[in-house]
């Protein structure tokens, strides 16, 4: 087989690439530089088409600033297009893995399963040819088992000696290798028969990954192009996933063949036949159940319950940190369930990432078929976890986009339907909250990672409370409904506490006043967010990091922070009890307070002003203290009370009917 070019990926490749960062969402103004590129994104144009707006602008002699803006918009649009293409590709890859796992769960014809694996690998990697070779221990060589896209008969009938070609390099090292120019690559031994077959097929770039059973290589899965090409790390990892499924299919077929042979050789031993039949029935039962779980999107606990029933034991899914470290690492490295005291541990992995473990409790004697059943259950669990993660990320992204549109004052007619699909009631009373991390980061990467963790925690919190969340201004913004009897302050404090616990760092949260009918005006949510940001900054200035608060907590300062000047609410919070007492009892506590502050807080001068006895003034002030609290004469409280008294008088004057 061909092998890698010396300057290609000569070392083993594994793992998936890190997901790209989400670009900041910015709403284009009408006629802006982004418009032509948004149209290209909408109709799914090719990457070459994105150069056309810039070329037209230059041809029309537009200013350099306009051309620079178009260049920037083009780069952003191409990033968005690449992100969308990457997500579509990952969805197609996950779907293909699901389909292959389903084929494997209902395995009847090994050749059909291997053919489907090779076909899907070729389709997803976009190569001209894909093929699978298997080792022949009897003859001591390797032969072509399945090919897809091949046109040369000699290539399809190749038999290779062990250690020859790129396949020999893969088999020797048990690691994937890639070459972008087969005939120039001298890292492996070329032979006349291999080179002739490859030349007949016209292959140039080839990647091969091993088919592993335990520590043994049983074959190689290849993808190849008839032109020079550099295979990406994600493509090689995907090919490795298909190779793992192919090895599992071969292992299952071999196991079934061994079972049939054993049954044929033990016809006279009814006891053994019954035992073996029971094992096969359990394996078939669990295969059917796991296939059904994959199709209907079941959870990890459903898998554990199904396997528990089939294996007649207790199977649990645990986080990686809760499983025995040594046994878990052995299972991960070997790809098999391993025994740990009286338990069996099967690592749940995906693309090199350790997601957890399936643990069979108190079952030291485990049949090999049942052991493989536990291993296949771990594989299905990993697929379900990946699917759930993908679905959750998609829902969080959609919720964030809806909140972005509300903040950017998009057309509200279209937002109601989108909100209804997300179970968000835009007519209910909400509070807008601005959240920001307070822990310092050592470098930009750590800061970006902390912001991603904050956004993930905010998205999860919003999803569980029928709200929305998005990343904005270096932090997160949340739109959460207010429960009956709840206040914006209480909601802000709970949110600060919950987010801080989730990200293990102090999180400061500022909240807007309650707002209802979010789509009544296009700027409703944006104005509330601005108020929440002002409260957030006020908390920082007041030295209260990691706390949550709303404008109503800042006394008269809250009037300045609030987007809507809630004068009536301020007066009610400050002297409302005194006003209500006067109205119920017909007393003159408000008048006494006015005179008391006007006379410099002197009871003696106040009694002269009111023409009452000084004891009457003292009794009234004592009543005020019981209504407003013992600290009502402190400088800060007295300032708020005097302001509330003046605002109350002004509101009473403006409420009187005009005289004619």
398 domain residue, yes or no = no
628 occurs within a structural domain = yes
Whether residue 79 lies inside any domain: the answer is no
pLDDT at 14 over 50: no
Inform me whether the pLDDT recorded for 223 exceeds 80. Answer: yes
Last residue of a domain, one of 540, 561, 582: 561
Domain at 128, CATH number: 3.30.450.40
Same domain, 327 and 237: no
Of the residues 361, 391, 421, which one is the last residue of a structural domain? 391
Do residues 555 and 584 share a domain? Answer: no
Q: For residue 151, what are the domain limits? A: 107-259
What's the average model confidence in pLDDT over 638-647?
75
- Are residues 618 and 541 part of one domain? no
Confidence grade of residue 179 (pLDDT, cut at 50, 70, 90): very high
pLDDT given for residue 206 in this prediction? 94
Calpha distance 613→500 (Å, rounded): 57
pLDDT(269) > 70: no
Residue 109 has pLDDT above 50, yes or no: yes
- DSSP-derived secondary structure for 77-117: HHHHHHHHHHHHHHHHHHHHHHHHHHHHHT---HHHHHHHH
Tokens encoding 552: 């109503």
**Which candidate, 476, 514, 474, places its Cα nearest to that of 495?**
476
Average pLDDT for the chain: 77
Give me the mean pLDDT over the 248-270 stretch.
Answer: 71
User: 318 vs 274, which has greater pLDDT?
Assistant: 318
Residue 549's domain is classified under what CATH number?
3.30.70
Name the range with the highest mean pLDDT among 378-387, 408-417, 555-564.
Answer: 378-387
Range from 52-66, 268-282, 522-536 that averages highest in pLDDT: 52-66
Beta carbons of 78 and 88 less than 8 angstroms apart: no
- Same domain assignment for residues 369 and 488: no
Among 13-17, 300-304, 543-547, name the one with the lowest average pLDDT.
Answer: 13-17
Q: List, in order, residues 6 or more apart from 276 with CB less than 8 Å away.
A: 259, 262, 263, 266
Mean pLDDT in residue range 170-192:
88
Residue 93 has pLDDT above 70, yes or no: no
In a domain, 500, yes or no: yes
Which residue, 455, 484, 481, 478, is CA-closest to 536? Answer: 478
Are 429 and 308 contained in the same domain? no
In this prediction, residues 377-384 reach a mean pLDDT of 77
pLDDT recorded at residue 24: 41
Percent of the chain with pLDDT over 70: 74
Q: What is the mean pLDDT of residues 607-636?
A: 85
Q: pLDDT per residue over 154-175, tens digit each?
A: 999 988 877 788 888 888 888 8
Please give the average per-residue pLDDT across 465-478, as a whole number: 84
Residue 127: pLDDT band by 50, 70, 90 thresholds? very high
174's torsion region: left (phi>0), alpha (psi -120 to 50) or beta? left
DSSP string, 291-329: HHHHHHT--HHHHHHHHHHHHTSEEEEE-GGGS-HHHHH
Give the model confidence (pLDDT) of 529-557 as tens digits: 888 887 787 777 667 788 888 866 765 45
Flag whether pLDDT at 2 surpasses 60: no
114 and 250: one domain? yes
Q: Is the pLDDT of residue 322 over 50?
A: yes
Residue 357 has pLDDT above 90, yes or no: no
CA geometry: angle 433, 457, 414, nearest 5 deg:
60
Asked whether the predicted pLDDT for residue 268 surpasses 80, the reply is no
Q: List, for residues 562-593, the tens digit of each pLDDT value.
A: 445 555 666 777 788 888 888 888 888 888 88
* Domain of residue 316, CATH code: 3.30.450
Same domain, 340 and 436: no
In a domain, 502, yes or no: yes
Helix H or strand E encompassing 177:
strand 177-179
Q: How far is CA 371 from CA 283, 416, 654, in A?
A: 10, 52, 83
361 and 422 belong to one structural domain: no
Q: What is the mean pLDDT of residues 522-532?
A: 79
Does 290 map to a domain?
no
Higher local confidence (pLDDT), 176 or 400: 176
Separation of alpha carbons 552 and 357, rounded Å: 49
Residue 199: inside a domain: yes
Structure tokens, 264: 């044929």
Residue 461: pLDDT band with limits 50, 70, 90: confident
Neighbouring CB atoms inside 10 A of 594's CB total: 19
Return the H-helix or E-strand segment holding 583: helix 567-585
Share of the chain above pLDDT 90, in %: 8
Residue 286 lies in a domain: no
pLDDT for 30: 43
Same domain, 319 and 423: no
Same domain, 430 and 511: yes
Taking the alpha carbons at both ends of the chain, their separation in whole angstroms is 105
Predicted local confidence at residue 560, as pLDDT: 45
Is residue 414 located within the same domain as residue 538? yes
Do 213 and 277 form a contact (C-beta atoms < 8 A)? Answer: no
* Cβ-Cβ contacts under 8 Å for 219 (sequence gap 6 or more): 132, 133, 134, 135, 142, 145, 210, 211, 246, 247, 250
Write down the pLDDT at residue 352: 67
pLDDT above 50 (res 20): no
Domain count, the chain: 4
3-state secondary structure of 486: coil
- One domain, residues 586 and 617: yes
- The better pLDDT of the pair 50, 210 is held by 210
pLDDT at 237 over 80: yes
Split at pLDDT 50, 70, 90, the class of 207 is: very high
Least confident among 1-10, 201-210, 260-269, 306-315: 1-10
Question: Cα angle at 109 between 107 and 115, to 5 degrees?
Answer: 100
Q: Which of 241, 259, 277 is the last residue of a domain?
A: 259
């Amino acid at each position: 087989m061909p092998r890698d070019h010396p300057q290609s990926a000569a070392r083993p490749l594994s793992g998936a690439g890190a997901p790209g960062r989400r670009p900041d969402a910015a709403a284009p103004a009408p006629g802006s530089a982004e418009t032509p590129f948004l149209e290209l994104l909408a109709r799914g144009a090719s990457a070459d088409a994105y150069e056309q707006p810039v070329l037209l602008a230059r041809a029309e002699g537009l200013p350099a600033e306009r051309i620079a803006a178009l260049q920037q918009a083009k780069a952003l649009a191409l990033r968005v297009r690449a992100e969308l293409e990457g997500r579509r590709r990952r969805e197609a890859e996950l779907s293909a893995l699901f389909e292959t796992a389903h084929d494997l769960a209902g395995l009847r014809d090994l050749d059909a399963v291997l053919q489907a694996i090779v076909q899907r690998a070729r389709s997803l990697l976009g190569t001209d040819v894909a093929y699978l070779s298997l080792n022949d221990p009897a003859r001591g060589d390797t032969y072509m088992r399945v090919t897809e896209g091949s046109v040369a008969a000699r290539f399809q009938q190749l038999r290779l000696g062990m250690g020859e070609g790129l396949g020999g390099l893969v088999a020797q090292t048990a690691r994937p290798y890639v070459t972008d120019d087969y005939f120039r690559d001298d890292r492996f031994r070329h032979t006349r028969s291999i080179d002739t077959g490859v030349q007949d097929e016209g292959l140039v770039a080839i990647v091969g990954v091993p088919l592993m059973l335990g520590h043994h290589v049983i074959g190689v899965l290849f993808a190849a192009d008839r032109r020079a090409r550099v295979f990406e790390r994600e493509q090689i990892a995907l090919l490795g996933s298909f190779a793992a499924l192919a090895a599992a299919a071969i292992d299952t077929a071999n196991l079934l063949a061994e079972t049939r042979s054993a049954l044929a050789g033990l016809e006279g031993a009814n006891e053994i036949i019954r035992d073996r039949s029971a094992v096969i029935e359990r394996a078939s039962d669990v295969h059917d159940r796991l296939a059904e779980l994959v199709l209907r999107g079941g959870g990890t606990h459903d898998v554990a319950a199904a396997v528990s029933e089939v294996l007649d034991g207790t199977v649990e899914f645990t986080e990686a940190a809760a499983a025995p470290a040594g046994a878990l690492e052995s299972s991960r490295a070997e790809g098999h369930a391993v025994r740990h005291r009286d338990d069996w541990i099967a690592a749940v992995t995906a693309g090199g990432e350790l997601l957890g473990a399936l643990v069979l409790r108190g079952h030291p004697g485990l049949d090999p078929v049942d052991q493989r059943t536990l291993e296949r259950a771990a594989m299905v669990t990993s697929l379900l976890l990946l699917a759930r993660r993908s679905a959750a990320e998609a829902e969080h992204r959609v919720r964030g986009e809806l909140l972005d549109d509300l903040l950017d004052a998009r057309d509200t007619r279209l937002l109601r339907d989108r909100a209804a699909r997300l179970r968000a009631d835009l007519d209910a009373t909400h509070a807008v909250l601005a959240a920001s991390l307070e822990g310092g980061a050592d470098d930009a990467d750590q800061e970006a990672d902390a912001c991603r963790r904050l956004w993930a925690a905010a998205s999860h919190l919003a999803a569980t409370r029928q709200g929305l969340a998005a990343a904005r201004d270096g932090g997160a913004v949340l739109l959460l409904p207010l429960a009956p009897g709840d206040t914006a302050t209480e909601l802000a404090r709970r949110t600060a506490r919950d987010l801080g616990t989730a990200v293990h760092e102090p999180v400061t949260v500022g909240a807007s006043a309650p707002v209802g009918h979010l789509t009544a005006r296009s700027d409703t949510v944006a104005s509330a967010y601005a108020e929440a940001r002002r409260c957030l900054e006020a908390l920082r200035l007041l030295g209260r990091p990691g706390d949550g608060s709303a404008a109503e907590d800042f006394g008269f300062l809250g009037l300045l922070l609030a987007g809507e000047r809630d004068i009536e609410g301020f007066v009610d919070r400050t002297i409302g009890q005194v006003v209500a007492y006067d109205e119920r009892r017909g007393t003159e506590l408000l008048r006494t307070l006015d005179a008391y502050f006007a006379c410099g807080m002197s009871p003696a001068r106040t009694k002269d002003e009111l023409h009452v006895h000084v004891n009457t003034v003292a009794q009234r002030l004592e009543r005020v203290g019981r209504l407003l609290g013992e600290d009502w004469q402190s400088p800060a409280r007295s300032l708020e009370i005097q302001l509330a008294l003046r605002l109350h008088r002004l509101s009473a004057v403006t409420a009187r009917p005009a005289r004619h």
